[in-house]
Amino acid sequence: MHIIGLGHLALLVIGVMILLMIIFRKEFVQLVRTTLGVLSFFMGSKARHTMKLFFFIKPPLLEVETYEEVISKFRGNRQIMNIHDVLPLVETGDLFTFIGKVEKSYQMAIKWFTASPVSHVGICYKPDDGPPQFIEATRHGFESFDLHDRIHYFAGRYPLIIFRKLHAPRDDEFHTNFEKFIDENKEKEYTPMKTASGLIELMKSAMDLRVPILKYDIFHNKQDLSTLFCSELVAEAYSHVGILDLDDYIPSNEYTPADFSRINENWQWGPERERLDNLNKGAYLGDEIFVHPEVDHEGN
């Protein structure tokens, strides 16, 4: 009986591994990114320098610091508008997402997990009377701000703000359900996100490491509204107005800010993005518009 030599066996094992990597390419890439994200979390300030060694699998602009960096890489066909030109376009359900600087190790980790520089998202509410509001989850929980003031505040903190319009039938039912969503949450007490349980939930939402074939997410979150983070709030709002289905497979705390953006979309996969691309009632999210206070009214 012919015995396979160790050299041939090694080649066979390598060949099988390469074949599996090709078949499960997305899962393999996600595993590598998750590993690097965990390393960056524990490495703290040393992560930025060390992670440069992995430039060949590093998604663009994970460490973006300036508006110019974003524009030079991502402008493409995207429209750029002055903040004051965008505000009159706002309707209930529209989104603002934000490309953020990396200040803490967990922020770098989440950017690796999600392959995106987008780190925050909030939703707009335009009441019948009064100025438009910006609804978001801060570290304190559910909060509502004057939209104009909040966007100007964020303009000084984030390299880029992105506006994304929700195209949906905004009938009486839509507005009634959105207002119920606000009423149910504005007085609710939330566990601060800065607690260990809140941070773990946030990290697990970004760590979409799924077992091939079974599609089971190892770090899957169970629905938990005792804490509330930004993208979880937006998913809950869309569920309340009937355009997004939430269930045990994808609860609201499995959505990340990156899921609501198309920045680096070719680096990302997952059922959350698929659901957002197939909203109910014919709703859909429009193109992203870059927003910056320093561009003129022509977008230059």
Beta strands in 126-264 (DSSP E): 133-138, 141-146, 160-167, 210-211, 216-217
Indicate the SS3 state at residue 75.
coil
**Confidence at residue 108, expressed as pLDDT on a 0 to 100 scale:** 81
**In terms of Cα–Cα distance, which of 121, 100, 131 is closest to 238?**
121
Q: What is the CATH number of domain 6-291?
A: 3.90.1720.10
Could you tell me if 110 and 37 are in contact, meaning their C-beta atoms sit under 8 angstroms apart?
yes
| Mean pLDDT, all residues of the chain | 83
- Tokens 């939930």 sit on residue: 201
pLDDT tens digit sequence for 257-276: 999 999 888 877 788 999 99
| Segments making up each domain of the chain, as ranges | 6-291
Give the C-alpha separation, 115 to 202, whole Å: 15
Axis-axis angle for helices 172-186, 230-240 (nearest 10): 140
Over range 275-280, report the average pLDDT: 95
Reading the block at residue 141, the tokens are 């929980």
pLDDT tens digit sequence for 193-246: 677 777 788 888 887 777 666 666 777 888 888 888 999 999 999 999 999 999
Give the C-alpha separation, 103 to 106, whole Å: 9
pLDDT tens digit sequence for 157-194: 888 899 999 999 999 999 999 999 999 998 787 777 67
Q: Is 23 a residue whose pLDDT tops 70?
A: no
Q: Which pTM does this prediction carry? A: 0.84
**Confidence at residue 1, expressed as pLDDT on a 0 to 100 scale:** 44
pLDDT tens digit sequence for 29-79: 777 777 777 777 777 666 666 666 676 677 888 878 888 888 877 766 677
Calculate the CA dihedral of residues 32, 137, 238, 183 and round it to 10 degrees.
Answer: 160
